[in-house]
């Protein structure tokens, strides 16, 4: 049976059609700038969701691969000279994603031997390893002095638009990959790993292969987004290209919208990034915007503890079945297992 439904296709056409038209309807440069970072974090959260949401492995090191992608474009500019026409770096993005994914395979094979908090610590350590490499490989990265990229020859009045569409393209690719994986055999394996990895291995699921593939796909898209970001910023430093806050932001957005869902990370990014930018603009001088930003996240998580998409889906399902809504944070009790003969264990 086809996984495509009329409602799903219509939803995707409306959303991505609106995103494609956005910079023409709202051409102000500051608005398009906010939209670029919104799409970037939507892509980062969606890419993280392929691993963290589907398999349950909480990675805190995705910013390492974001930085690798950023430095890949910057180094290619500086040492190879691909900058020519201004659009060539965009054409190099798929190669950047493939290289980052392939480089990540041996790393994933080692890191994914541990689980839960240990895996999170290992990936966080990887982030700081890459950051230190960026500081110390002076002949490639120029260390703490940063690496400059030549300005692209785009028209000043529409300078942001090529970067907007590049971010939109990578985000769309990550989104549809996430949709495909969720309904595929790979997605079934990842969800079984998330629910009970030992049992999944016991019934014949190729656990290691599934996790490594998910890890490689996830960081490949992350590296591509880092490449677009570097070209847009035009000057990168190790502490900004390999920043833990990038990973934290993506994880928060995935949890806010609903990890393990297709639309959840997108919804989380589309709420949090504009809210953060608006509050920074209005309250940035006093840094009170951080309180406002945290309040938005806190209120949503208090009233929608499982994330926006799962909470709304549960509410609609209860309304259709006539069951009352459960209070926020309530956990449904699971039926007790029974032994043969009806005796409780």
- What are the pLDDT digits (tens) for 140-192? 888 888 888 888 888 888 899 999 999 999 999 999 999 999 999 999 999 99
User: Which pLDDT score, from 0 to 100, does residue 157 have?
Assistant: 85
Task: Establish if 170 belongs to a structural domain.
Answer: yes
Task: Establish if 134 belongs to a structural domain.
Answer: yes
| 152 phi and psi angles, rounded to 5 deg | -70, 150
Provide the phi-psi class of 91: left if phi over 0, else alpha when psi is between -120 and 50, else beta: alpha
Q: C-alpha distances in angstroms, 315 versus 259, 311, 324, 325, 327? A: 17, 6, 9, 6, 11
User: Which pLDDT score, from 0 to 100, does residue 331 have?
Assistant: 45
- What are the pLDDT digits (tens) for 215-243? 999 999 999 999 999 999 988 999 899 99
How many domains in the chain? Answer: 1
User: Which pLDDT score, from 0 to 100, does residue 75 have?
Assistant: 87
Task: Establish if 327 belongs to a structural domain.
Answer: no
* 291-308 per-residue burial string, b: 16 or more CB within 10 A, e: under 16: eebeeebeebbeebebbb
- Those residues of the chain that have pLDDT short of 50 are 1, 331-345
Query: Cα(154)–Cα(167) distance, rounded to whole angstroms?
Result: 16
Task: Establish if 41 belongs to a structural domain.
Answer: yes
Task: Establish if 298 belongs to a structural domain.
Answer: no
Task: Establish if 184 belongs to a structural domain.
Answer: yes
Task: Establish if 281 belongs to a structural domain.
Answer: no
Whether residue 296 contacts residue 272, with contact meaning beta carbons closer than 8 Å, is answered with: yes
Identify the H or E element spanning 235: strand 235-236
User: What is the domain extent for residue 107?
Assistant: 28-244
Task: Establish if 223 belongs to a structural domain.
Answer: yes
């Amino acid at each position: 049976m086809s996984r495509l439904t009329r409602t799903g296709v219509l939803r995707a056409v409306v959303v991505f059609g609106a995103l494609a038209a956005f910079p023409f309807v709202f051409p102000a440069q500051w608005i398009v700038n906010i939209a670029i970072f919104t799409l970037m974090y939507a892509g980062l959260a969606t890419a993280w969701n392929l691993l963290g949401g589907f398999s349950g492995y909480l990675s805190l090191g995705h910013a390492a691969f974001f930085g690798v992608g950023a430095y890949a474009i910057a180094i290619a500019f500086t040492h190879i000279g691909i900058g020519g026409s201004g659009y060539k770096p965009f054409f190099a993005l798929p190669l950047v994603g493939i290289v980052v994914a392939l480089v990540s395979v041996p790393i994933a094979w080692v890191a994914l031997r541990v689980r839960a908090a240990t895996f999170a610590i290992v990936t966080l350590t990887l982030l700081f390893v890459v950051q230190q490499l960026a500081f110390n490989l002076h002949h490639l990265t120029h260390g703490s002095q940063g690496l400059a990229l030549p300005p692209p020859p785009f028209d000043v009045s529409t300078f942001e638009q090529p970067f907007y569409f590049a971010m939109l393209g990578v985000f769309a690719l990550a989104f549809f990959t996430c949709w495909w994986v969720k309904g595929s055999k790979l997605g079934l394996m990842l969800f079984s790993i998330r629910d009970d990895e030992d049992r999944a291995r016991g019934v014949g699921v190729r656990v290691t292969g599934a996790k490594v593939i998910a890890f490689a796909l996830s960081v490949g898209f992350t590296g591509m987004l880092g490449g677009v970001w570097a070209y847009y910023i035009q000057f990168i430093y190790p502490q900004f290209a390999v920043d833990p806050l990038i990973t934290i932001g993506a994880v928060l957005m995935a949890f806010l919208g609903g990890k393990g869902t297709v639309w959840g990370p997108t919804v989380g990014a589309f709420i949090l990034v504009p809210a953060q930018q608006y509050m920074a603009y209005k309250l940035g001088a006093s840094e009170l915007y951080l309180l406002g930003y945290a309040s938005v996240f806190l209120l949503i998580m208090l009233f929608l503890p499982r994330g926006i998409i799962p909470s709304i889906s549960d509410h609609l399902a209860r309304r259709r079945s006539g069951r009352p809504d459960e209070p926020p944070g309530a956990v449904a009790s699971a039926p007790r297992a029974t032994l043969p003969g009806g005796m409780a264990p």
